[in-house]
Amino acid sequence: MSRVLARLVLHPLSQSYPQGFAVAPACSSLAAQGCSSRAATQKDDLGSSRTECGGRRAQPPPSRRSKRTRAWQLVADGMAEGLGATIVQAGSTVLREEADDVPASMLGTQELKDLVQTMVDTMRAAPGVGLAAPQIGIPLKVIVLEDRPEYIALLQDGLAEQQQRQPFETLVIVNPRLSALTNQGARFFEGCLSVPGYQALVERYTSVEVTGVTPEGLPLKLTANGWQARILQHECDHLHGCLYVDRMLSRSFSARGGGSRLPDDVPRPGQPCTCCHHVDAAA
């Protein structure tokens, strides 16, 4: 079913600043139904239903666990019906909330394997170099990332070296915890499939350490530098309800591929910087 999803999530790869980031599906098309003399039902962006009006008492809000279960069911239903899923867009609450830790009881299960496979397929179909589970409507701390030679080959002369960008195999990290290994940072353009069509300069640490577990529950510890470190910071931010626009140099915000020129007062891409922001908490 994940292949169905993959076909339905399309996004061009920027020639100038390949998008490196997340894809995801779902739920934004769920619109509130009109209110009538009867109690009307409204669905939020995770598909949870509640009684809205009509003189009846509203049901209590769903628990986070039931919302997560419902979100996953929506993704699975959509794929089973050939509908796939759509990328969760900025404005959806699932992109602005702290994701839940994956419980120990879920490690090694088929449910988690399905989620990971869906995320990988979706990321590749975008195409992108990273994806966080909230971007497919699932508020769990799971990220996937990879960088492929064909993506890097599209970069303009010298940019791959500036970005310290090297291909790497698919990484899947459950419950990641990030820490910066240096105060040294760099400014480069980033994009996000949850904020399509735009890009901005973002300062990121150039070296980080991430710990977590594999989908099977085995301990995982990784040191990352350059572009891989940037992807990890971008994806882990998604798990804390943070988008790149929360960290961007706002005057660099621009349409992708529009040939726009940075204002003179904005630092140039590639310049080093000194970072001091949190990497494991919302901005």
Show which residues are catalytic.
235
Nearer to Zn ion, 48 or 191 (CB): 191
Closest contact distance (angstroms) between CB of 145 and Zn ion is: 11
Q: How far apart are CA 32 and CA 148, in angstroms?
A: 41
Q: What is the DSSP letter of 282?
A: -
Q: How many CB atoms lie within 10 A of CB 162?
A: 16
Q: How far apart are CA 172 and CA 107, in angstroms?
A: 13
3-state helix, strand, coil in the chain (%, to 5): 25, 25, 45
Among 192, 224, 231, 232, interactor with Zn ion by CB under 5 A = 192
Closest contact distance (angstroms) between CB of 274 and Zn ion is: 24
Q: How many CB atoms lie within 10 A of CB 39?
A: 15
Nearer to Zn ion, 1 or 248 (CB): 248
Query: Looking at 91-99, 143-151, 190-198, 246-254, which segment touches Zn ion (CB under 5 A)?
Result: 190-198
Q: What is the DSSP letter of 94?
A: G
Closest contact distance (angstroms) between CB of 94 and Zn ion is: 13
Closest contact distance (angstroms) between CB of 126 and Zn ion is: 10
Contacts of residue 153, defined as CB under 8 A and 6 or more positions apart, other chains included, come to none
DSSP 53-66: SSSSPPPPPPPHHH
Nearer to Zn ion, 35 or 255 (CB): 255
Among 21, 72, 205, 227, interactor with Zn ion by CB under 5 A = 21
Among 1, 5, 22, 224, interactor with Zn ion by CB under 5 A = 22
Query: Looking at 7-15, 147-155, 159-167, 189-197, which segment touches Zn ion (CB under 5 A)?
Result: 189-197
Site of interaction with Zn ion (CB under 5 A): 21-22, 192
